[in-house]
Amino acid sequence: MKKRTMLGMVGLALGLIATPAGAAPKSDSVVWSEWETPSFMSGTLAKDNAVDPQTLVYRYIDEQAGTFRLGGRAAERLVLLSKQTDDLGHTVMRFEQRYQGIPVFGAVLVAHVKAGALTALSGTLIPDVEKHWKRGKTISSQEAEAIAERDVAASIGASPVKEQGNPTRLVIYPTSDTVHLAYEVNVRFLDPSPGNWVYLIDAAGGAVLNKWNELDEAKPGGGQTVAGTSTVGTGRGVLGDQKSINTTYSSSYGYYYLQDNTRGNGIFTYDGRNRTTLPGSLWADSDNQFFASYDAPAVDAHYYAGVVYDYYKNVHGRLSYDGNNAAIRSTVHYGSRYNNAFWNGSQMVYGDGDGQTFLPFSGGIDVVAHELTHAVTDYTAGLVYQNESGAINEAISDIFGTLVEFYANRNPDWEIGEDIYTPGIAGDALRSMSDPAKYGDPDHYSKRYTGTQDNGGVHTNSGIINKAAYLLSQGGTHYGVSVTGIGRDKMGKIFYRALVYYLTPTSNFSQLRAACIQAAADLYGSASQEVSSVKQAFNAVGVY
């Protein structure tokens, strides 16, 4: 959620997301990728009530072999990852493209089947892999990990103290003119500063093909549980407001703990004690009254995590960030005067701020909701945190951070981070959804950032999508295009459905537009005002 982070990044070579064509108008029913294959299709693509949905998808792609160019072997090259029925009666399937059993990086296809009809395909598949394929490797996974760790050390100026990350795996990594056998390496660490780097290392020689930091931050620039009785405590937050919070009393220890047993598999808040070890100690109090100034960040982190849980459950029917009631864990008082907050892939982490640039980060409800929405994205679309897919990732977090703020009715507005940013300066924020240009972010595709800093502008180009979402909700005229607003609730439902049921790891802005149009059609009908307003909103920011 940071305003800017100037990272020296290797430019993304992956053709399907390196320079997505978003400036030229496209058909609403088909969006074409740079590979000249479909990245989004909708309509009645195929229909047969006599076969199961998965078979229908395979058969359609094989019948369209000249379009998808998978060699007419869809059942072999598309492996089913998940299958579910949504609340509209769609059978939604996610497939991963593989070749000779090896995953193709970022190549995920989402298919919708309803009443025997294939109605949508979303996601970019890499065609003709066999024409460029050169199997074989000359380095080991351990050598690839060592290369990544040395590169991280050179980037941050010190050797990282590694945490357990995702296991290294072999992938096929496509570039603009070929495909590589590569190792996907995750280097996760907290010291000397937090990082969650992803590397693509060429297995044939050890070259760094790509890298980016996936740490979802909030700024510019082994946890235990307890057995006991559920209780309700009272405390004061960072901004001085009083709150009731769900706690657990342990008669064995004689303390009240910040453990909420009423939501899913629990909400747990820990004291980092100004160190950098996670998660710290489960927060304990002797009288269930949390009014000390040291308590304030914990009160807000605990309370707002519950609000975010309630929003996703009550508005979207989603149970925690993973959809399966995962425990929500947060650590406050991380580091010393630490001007940051982040989702590290498994939990929330909040610094105290320096008191001038930032207050304790958990004091901003939109900050908490923004970061936990990154977790929702991790468990749904899995948007790659780089270039346009990364900007969508950031915008989704801004959108739902704002919607949670309105849901809780806590001085809601369309600014991001205003409650904890520069306490001595009134009226400013990290970003603005209603007017991204106020803080130097683009509000139109023609003004997008095209460099390599900030993972290709993920916290900059998010302004384009933020503006589209604001216009869709509130209406207005932008760049001469008039948009009829449909309200926050409908806007949120459309973006949520697009995220969960249509977007894939490498989705770009054009695919997001198509996904939102289709989501609106699913929810409100293809001839609805909602569909028209989605088109108007994306037209207004120059995304086609």
Residues annotated as catalytic (active site), given as ranges:
371, 459
Query: What is the enclosing helix (H) or strand (E) of 376?
Result: helix 365-378
Strands (E), 24-90: 30-32, 38-47, 78-85
Q: Report the relative pairing of strands 216-217 and 195-202 from DSSP bridges.
A: unpaired
**CB-neighbour burial class of residue 452 (10 A; exposed 0-12, middle 13-18, buried 19+):** middle
Contact by Cβ (8 Å): 257, 286? no
Closest CA to 499 of 365, 323, 346, 330: 323
Kindly report the number of other CB atoms within 10 A of residue 513's CB atom: 26
Contact present, 56 and 74 (Cβ < 8 Å): no
What are all long-range contacts of 134-142, with beta carbons under 8 Å and residues at least 24 apart?
134/181, 134/204, 135/100, 135/181, 136/181, 136/204, 137/170, 137/181, 137/203, 137/204, 138/203, 138/204, 138/205, 138/206, 139/183, 139/201, 139/203, 139/204, 139/205, 139/206, 141/168, 141/170, 141/183, 141/185
Are residues 491 and 519 in contact, defined by beta-carbon separation less than 8 angstroms?
Answer: no
Q: CA angle 364-368-374, nearest 5°? A: 145
Which is nearest to 495 in space by CA: 471, 482, 513, 474? Answer: 513
Euclidean distance between CA atoms 113 and 221, whole angstroms: 45
Q: 509-524 and 529-540 helices cross at what angle (nearest 10)?
A: 160
Among 366, 371, 376, 373, which residue's Cα sits nearest to residue 350? 371
DSSP 287: S
Residue owning tokens 């949905």? 53
Dig out the tokens for 538 from the structure.
Answer: 């994306």
Region of 151 (left: φ > 0; alpha: ψ -120 to 50; beta: rest) is: alpha
CB-based contact 2:462 (threshold 8 Å):
no
